[in-house]
Amino acid sequence: MQSLASDALVIFGITGDLAFKKIIPAIAGLARRDRLGGPVLGVARDDWSAERLSGRVCASLRAQGERYDEQAARALAAGIRYVAGDYRQPETFMRLKAALGGARAPLFYLAIPPSLFGEVVARLGASGCAGPNARVVVEKPLGRDAASARELNRHLEQVFDEPRIFRIDHFLGKEPVQNLLYFRFANAFLEPIWNREHIASVQLTMAETFGVESRGRLYEELGAMRDVVQNHLLQIVSLLGMERPTHYTSDALRDEKVKVLEAIAPLGARQVVRGQYSGYRGEAGVAPESCVETYVALRFGIDTPRWAGVPFLVRAGKGLAVTATQVSVRLRAPSPALFDAAPENPNHVRFRLGPDRVSIGLGVRTKAPGEEMRGRATELLMCDEEAGSLSAYERLIGDALRGDPSLFARQDSIETAWRIVDGVASGAAAPTPHAYDAGSWGPAAADTMATDIGGWVDPGAGC
């Protein structure tokens, strides 16, 4: 049965930082394309006037640095109904119910701390705001481990059943990530070689030149493992490793992704290197003796017939040499070799997943000029700027309004991902972080992980 399209969008935390940077610009984009389908309501504790909210909306859109339209920005702000009140007070939700009017299928976006999810969802149910066609969008972190993720989900499911819970991971809404999925299954030449017979190793790097900036206090609660590996990067791994879905439907797609995560054994300390960039302990909100990792590297396998024996290496870090997210898939050399016995640059498939462009490179060998049959490494490259594409939040909020969960994480994938990293995310199994210089490629201890496969592939500054 097709989902009923949402006829109202309610943003809890409309005055917050996430709404300012991501959600308000996404709403503006949806409004330009006439995709909202109903009124927008903002809920927050702040007792703001209509003028102050309007100024906040205009400042948010002005900060995007694109073609700013003051008249359109003010029109959008004027159309947002604002409900001020404490999330713990029933009166706030009665005012929200009155503001919703006759909306039958509201979408509630909880851009608030996860510690408030349970209470807000309970109040939505008790007040009658969340009827049988209502949906909810929740932001990460979705727990600190598998147990807390299950507890959080228990609160959500008291009011919303699984098909009406949309766990947002903005990485899955990015155009380059969508292109990775499309490229894998839309090209006939790739599938025959996308397996252990032809692939020697798979690497995924998410590098950022900047540090934790103003997020020091929050980062102390997360670290790199919880911040990006358990969610963003394991989701990318599932796209790389999944079998072809029988159909392009939300359940078929997510079923295959979960199977990949289920085939990854829980990580042990020997499979992980943690690091911390010099200067992290001096950041605002960071403990002077902090052991939180700002860098993490993992090596593991996927125990399926397609991938048995192929090493998967994943690393993420702040304070690194460039800002880029890249997948590098190294292919096995032809055997027996007719020309170069052991080429230094093997064939590869490379996906650049951001931050501002999508590129796909095919590493091949061609003959170098001259009399001898000697080769040289060449990359066949497709590179597109992301200009003109939907932002990740615009795409995902639009999908949630339509009731399409394809790009949202399902609870079983959340719990399975936590099972993989739980032991090394905290506690005695978590190895001590190694210090590394800001602007480097992380601690030298991580280099040994990739020695037998030719070393890490560092993303360049360009495509």
Residue 228 CA to its chain's centroid (Å): 7
DSSP annotation of 6 reads P
Is residue 155 annotated as a catalytic residue, yes or no? no
Q: Which SS3 state, helix, strand or coil, does residue 416 take? A: helix
Dig out the tokens for 120 from the structure: 């807000």
- CB-based contact 402:30 (threshold 8 Å): no
Q: Is the peptide bond before 355 cis (omega within 30 degrees of 0)?
A: yes
- CB-based contact 94:126 (threshold 8 Å): no
Dig out the tokens for 444 from the structure: 């030298």
Dig out the tokens for 30 from the structure: 């949806």
Which residues lie closer than 8 Å to 272 by C-beta, 6 or more apart? 296, 297, 298, 424, 430, 431
Candidate list 232, 247, 348, 434, residue with the active-site label: 232
The sign of the CA dihedral 288, 291, 293, 297 is positive
Question: How many CB atoms neighbour CB 182 within 10 A?
Answer: 11
Q: Is the peptide bond before 336 cis (omega within 30 degrees of 0)?
A: yes
- Give the residue numbers annotated as catalytic, written as ranges: 232
